[in-house]
Structure 1
Amino acid sequence: MSDEGSAAGARRGLAQRQSGVLSRRGSDESGPREGEAKLLQAAEALLREGTSLAELSVARITERAGLTRTAFYFYFRDKRELLERLTEQVAAALYEQAEQWWGGEGAREELAEALDAILRLHREHAALLRAVVEASTYDEPTARFWRGLVERFVAGTERRLVADGVDPVQARALSVALVWGVERACYQQIVGSTGVSDADLVAALVEIWDGVMAPRRRPRAGDGASVTR
C-alpha cells in the first residue's frame, strides 16, 4: 500500500472513531459508559421477551437502546462480544457468591446459601444464560468462552479442596465433577426440564457437595476437632 493510501486509511479510521464518539455523546451525555450499559440492558431485555439469538440483531438492539449502529460498534466488535460482556457481568456476580463459600469456614449453611444464590442468579438471567449455553453447542468461540468462565469456578473449588488437604490430582477431578454438575443442573432447571423445585434442587446439590467436602475437610483451629499425628 502507498503512503498516500495509508494516510487515507488512517484518516477514514479517525473519522469513524470520531463519528462514534460524537454519536455516543449525542445520546449519552451523563457518562462514557452509559451507552454501553444501555446496549447491554437492551440486549438482555429483548432476550427476556422471547427474542431468539438469531433474531437478536444489531439493528434491534440499537433501536431498543435508542442508539445508533455507529455507537454499537464503538463499544463492541459484534453481537458475540456484546453477549460475552453481558455474560461476564453475570459470571462476576456468580463468582462473588461462590467466593463467600470458598473463603469461609466451609460450613454446610454457607454452602447452601451460596448454591441458593447461584441458582437465583441463573433464574434472574435465565434468557441470557440459556442463549449463551445453547450457542456454545454450535459456535466454537462461544464454547471456548463458556468453558473459560466455568473453569474459573473449577479453579476456585480446586484451591479450596487443596487448602483443606485434598491431593491436588484428586482435587482437580472432584472440582471438575462438582462444578460442571452445578452448571448442568442449573441450566436444566432454568429451561424447565427437571420436574423438581428450586429448593429441592439446592438441597440435593448441598448433599452432593457436602458429601464430598465434609470427609476431606481439614480440621481448623478452635473447632473442637482433634488432629491425629
Structure 2
Amino acid sequence: MASITRRTGIRGNDKRNAVEDKLEAALQRLIDAGESFTQVSVEQLAKEAGIARATFYLHFRDKGELVTRRMAQAAEEVIAAARVDAPETITQEGVKKVIRAVAKVYRLHYAVLTAAAETAVYDEAVREHYDELMQRLIDVNRRTLQRLIKARRLPAGTPPLIADTLTWAFERSCRQLLHHCKPAQFNALVDALTLMTWNSLYTPSQA
C-alpha cells in the first residue's frame, strides 16, 4: 500500500506541474497580446490554458498563489544561472556567458516575473516572495564582491551597495527590455549588461 500511495503522490505532482506549465504559457500569450496580469481574470487565464476554471481552483487559491509558485521555480533557475564559481579569475567573456544565461531565464519566465512585480504592489504574500528572490540575488552579488575585494581586484573600501544597485538595475533592465526582444536586441542587452557588470565589479583594481 505504501508504494501505491507514493506513486499516486508523484502522479499528482506531475499533474499539478503540467497545469502550472499550461497556465504560465497561457499567461505569456496573454501578456504578449497586451494584457496586464491585474486585468486578466482566472476564467480568462484558464480558458487560454485549455483547462476548466474549477481545475485552476483545485490547485491554486488565486492568481497570486500561481505567481508565487512559478516565481519560486524561476528563482531557483535564476540563482543557479547567476552563480560564478571563481570570480577572482573570471574573464569578461566568462561574465558575459553568465549574464546571457541569467537573461535567458528572465526571458523564459518573463510573464511570471512581470506578473510578480505587478502583483507585489498589492499582494503581501507575492511581495514577500519577490523581495526574497531579489535579496537572494543581492546576497550572491555581495559574496562575489567580497571575494573580489579579498583577491584585491577591487579596493578594500568598495561599498556593498554596488551589489544591490547592480542587482536591481539588472532586474529592471530585463523586465523593461526583454519583452518582444528580437535576437539582435537580446544580444545588445547582454553586451550592455556585461559591460556594466564588468566595469562595476570585475575590472582589476587600480588602487
Alignment TM-score, normalising by the size of structure 1: 0.68
How big is each residue's C-alpha offset from its partner over 1:117-151, in whole Å with a ceiling of 9 and x where there is no partner?
22222222222222222222343432332121011
* Cα displacement (A) at 1:47: 0.7
How big is each residue's C-alpha offset from its partner over 1:7-43, in whole Å with a ceiling of 9 and x where there is no partner?
xxxxxxxxxxxxxxxxxx9xx8971311220221121
Q: 2:116 aligns with which of 129, 132, 138?
A: 132
How big is each residue's C-alpha offset from its partner over 1:129-183, in whole Å with a ceiling of 9 and x where there is no partner?
2222222234343233212101111001101111222689845201101111100
Identity %: 22
Distance 1:59 1:182, change over 3 A: closer
Matched to 2:46, the amino acid is I
Cα distance in 2, alignment partners of residues 64 and 169 from structure 1: 52
1:190 corresponds to 2:175? no
The size of the alignment, in residue pairs, is 188
Bigger mean CA offset, 124-133 vs 88-97: 124-133
Unmatched segments (≥5 aa) in structure 2 = 1-6
* Cα displacement (A) at 1:215: 3.9
Bigger mean CA offset, 111-120 vs 165-174: 165-174
Larger Rg: 1
Distance 1:127 1:57, change over 3 A: same
* Cα displacement (A) at 1:103: 4.4
Alignment TM-score, normalising by the size of structure 2: 0.74
Contact 1:62 1:69 in 2 (8 A): no
CA RMSD, aligned part only?
3.3
- What corresponds to 1:61 in structure 2? 46
If asked which structure has higher relative contact order (CA below 8 Å, sep 6+), I would say 2
Contact 1:161 1:171 in 2 (8 A): no
Contact 2:106 2:174 in 1 (8 A): yes
Contact 1:122 1:129 in 2 (8 A): yes
Distance 1:117 1:111, change over 3 A: same
Unmatched segments (≥5 aa) in structure 1 = 1-24, 218-227
- What corresponds to 1:87 in structure 2? 71
Contact 2:148 2:202 in 1 (8 A): no
Q: 1:156 aligns with which of 134, 140, 143?
A: 140
Contact 1:102 1:157 in 2 (8 A): no
Cα distance in 2, alignment partners of residues 215 and 179 from structure 1: 17
1:41 corresponds to 2:21? yes
Contact 1:39 1:62 in 2 (8 A): no
Distance 1:191 1:131, change over 3 A: same
